[in-house]
Structure formats: structure tokens, C-alpha cells
Amino acid sequence: MTRDAASRRRWRDAPLALAMLAPSLVVLGAFVLYPLARAFWLGHQRCDPTGANCQSNGWDQYIDVFRSKEFQQAFGVTFRFALLTVPVGLALGIGLAVLADKQLRGMGFFRTVFSSTVATSVAVASLMWFFLLNPSVGVLADWIGGVAKNPGLLQDEGTALWAVAVSSIWANLGFTFIVVTAGLQSIPADLYESAYVDGAGGWMRFSNVTLPMLGPTLLFAGVVLTSRAFQSYGEFDLLTGGGPNGSTTSLTYLIYGNNSIIKNNSGLQAAVAVLLFAVLLVLSLLQIRGVERRVHYGN
């Protein structure tokens, strides 16, 4: 077959390919691409509170929003939140998964417990932590004392973000646990056996067999957890309402929150949302490109 014929044939197939892709294209277009384009357009406008009457405010609105005090502070909060939750969440997930990866009686019970937070909604998890940490009636407040009692971990500027992070780590632990457990089960047993024969101890086997073989899993979990951290909203809304004094106003809270000063300003909200999208895109690319080189995908 000549190249021409091949090319002709490809073109002949195009309508069929298009027809088969159409359903997903329509869905993608209507629910992802169109809203994204609209949000991008809206981000250079200023609208009245109903969002019906808009006029252009120049594309430099994006730059000014990025450089503004509020965006920079919210970006810092979000970045710190991700730095707090992702590494700790991953480490705890790996630890629990390795602990539960034993062929022992009753292990099913522990696996169920460790993965149970997957079935817990953000709202439920947040309310639970709200009452645990409540300075007046919370169980933890009397144990910890000090700032936990007055004004409370969620109401002190220095501790609020940490307290929200704890709740978020707990709520995401089930997800990490399940993903890592699946990763562990795909590691061939003969690798452990040969490591054992070579005289490797428990820690050596973990660091030289388990961790490298988990690479793809951890990359996946890391990217997902980072993007979740950047998009977390429920925790902030229910635990702190963006406070105290803006110390937990994340980018998503700046966009949606009831206590955001741009809550009825859809142009600025869209600008922040698009910038959050751009930041996440760059971050995910960096993570994947930077870490992928070190990831061992096996064969």
C-alpha cells in the first residue's frame, strides 16, 4: 500500500471516527470546554451582582488579580496547605498500607477501618473535627490545653491552617490507603524473596523494593492529593470560614466563600478560578515531568 492510499484511507475513516467520538465530544464540550472558555472570557470582565450586565475591564485584570494582596495571600495559604497535607498524607497512607499488607487473620477488619474515611464526606469529617477541636466542648481541647482552649486551634491565626490540614489529611487517608494497598499487591513476591535471600532486612526491603516499585502509584496519589489540596473547599468553609483574619482563606474560599470580599463579583471570581486552573496545570506538569524520570514502571 502506498503512502497516498494510506492517507486516503485515513481520511475515509475520519467521519466514522468523528461519529464515534461525538458523544464524548459533546459531553466534554458542553461540560468542560465551553464553561472553561466562558470562565476565561468572564475573567477579563466586571459584572453587576446578577452577572447579567458585564463589560470588559481589560485583560490586564488577570495580571492585577494575580498580583493583588488577596490573591497572593490566598495563594500562599493554599500552597502551605498543600505542603502540609500532601507529604504527611502520603507518608501515613504508605505506613498504614504496609502495616495492613500482611496475610494475618482479621486483617480485613483493619483494612476496612483504614479505608473507611473514603466513605466519609468532607462535611461529615469537618463537623467531626469541629467538635473534637471545639475549645469549649471538644474532647481534644481539654487534653491539649493552652491555645487549644483559648481561643481554640481553629481560631488562632498560628494554628488554624494546621488544624484544618489535620482534618483534611484524616479525610483523605482512606483514598491514599486504598491506592497504595493496590500498588503493594501488584509488587511480585519473588522480588521480596530474592531480597530476603540476599540478606535484606525489613527496612532494606521497604526502601529498596517496596518504595521504588510503588513509584507510579505514589506519583499518581501525589498528583491527585496535590490537586485535591488546591481545590479543597468544604474543610475551610465548615471549620474556619476562611478565618481567623484570612489565615485560612484559600484560593477556592476566595472564589466561593461567604466571607470573601468578591463573593458577588463574578468577573473577579472567574479570574481567580482561571488562575487557579493555570497554577494547577503547571504544578501537575512539573510534578509529572520532575518525578517521572525517577519512577520505575517495571515492565
Partner 1 sequence: MSCKVRPALAGATLGCLLLAACGSGKSILEAGNEPRPTTAPVTTLPGQTTVPGQTTVPTAPPTTEPRPIDSLPPCDIAALDEAAADGPVEILFWHGMSNELGRELERIVGQFNAAQDRVEVRLEFQGGYEQTIDKYLQSDTDNRPDLVQMPEYTVQLMVDTQSNVPVQACMEDAGYDASGILPTALDAYATESIQWAMPFNVSNPVLYYNKKIFRDAGLDPEAPPLTLEQLGEYGRAIQSTGAATYGVAFDSAPDGGGGWFLEQWLAKEGEFYSDNDNGRSAPSTRVLFDGPTGVELLTGLQDVVATGGGVYVGENPSGTDAFLKLADASTPASMTISTSAALGSVLQFVEGGIIPGIGVEDLGVGPMPGPSGAPGTLIGGASLWITAGRGDAEAAAAFEFISYLVSPEIQSEWAAATGYVPVNAGAVELDPLRSVYTADPRFRVAYDQVAQTPDVPTSNGPVLGPLREVRVTAASAMAQIMNGADPQAALSDAAALANALIADYNSRRG
Q: Minimum distance from CB of 1 to partner 1 (Å)?
A: 48
Q: Which is nearer to partner 1, 41 or 130 (CB)?
A: 130
Q: Minimum distance from CB of 126 to partner 1 (Å)?
A: 10
Q: Which is nearer to partner 1, 19 or 52 (CB)?
A: 52
Q: Which is nearer to partner 1, 68 or 120 (CB)?
A: 68
Positions that interact with partner 1 (CB under 8 A)? 44, 46-53, 55-62, 64-72, 75-76, 79, 83, 87, 130, 134-137, 142, 149-152, 154-155, 211, 238-241, 243-246, 258-265, 268, 271-272, 286, 290-291, 294
Question: Torsion angle, CA of 150/151/157/163, rounded to 10 degrees?
Answer: 80
Q: Which is nearer to partner 1, 100 or 141 (CB)?
A: 141
Q: Minimum distance from CB of 132 to partner 1 (Å)?
A: 13
Q: Minimum distance from CB of 141 to partner 1 (Å)?
A: 9
Q: Which is nearer to partner 1, 118 or 291 (CB)?
A: 291
Q: Which is nearer to partner 1, 115 or 176 (CB)?
A: 176
| DSSP states along the chain | --HHHHHHHHHHHHHHHHHHHHHHHHHHIIIIIHHHHHHHHHTTEEE-TTS-SEEE--THHHHHHHHSHHHHHHHHHHHHHHHHHHHHHHHHHHHHHHHH-S--TTHHHHHHHHHGGGGS-HHHHHHHHHHHH-TTT-HHHHHH-GGGTTT-GGGSTTTHHHHHHHHHHHHHHHHHHHHHHHHHHTS-HHHHHHHHHTT--HHHHIIIIIHHHHHHHHHHHHHHHHHHHHH--HHHHHHTTT-STTTT--HHHHHH-TT-TTTT-HHHHHHHHHHHHHHHHHHHHHHHHHHHTT-----
Q: Minimum distance from CB of 63 to partner 1 (Å)?
A: 8
Nearest to 140 by CA among 168, 113, 163, 161: 163
Q: Which is nearer to partner 1, 118 or 200 (CB)?
A: 200
Sign, CA torsion 97/102/103/104: negative
What phi and psi values does residue 54 have, to the nearest 5 degrees?
Answer: -120, 150
Q: Minimum distance from CB of 20 to partner 1 (Å)?
A: 35
Q: Minimum distance from CB of 139 to partner 1 (Å)?
A: 11
Q: Minimum distance from CB of 149 to partner 1 (Å)?
A: 7
Give me the residue label for grid cell 501488584: 186
Q: Which is nearer to partner 1, 111 or 263 (CB)?
A: 263
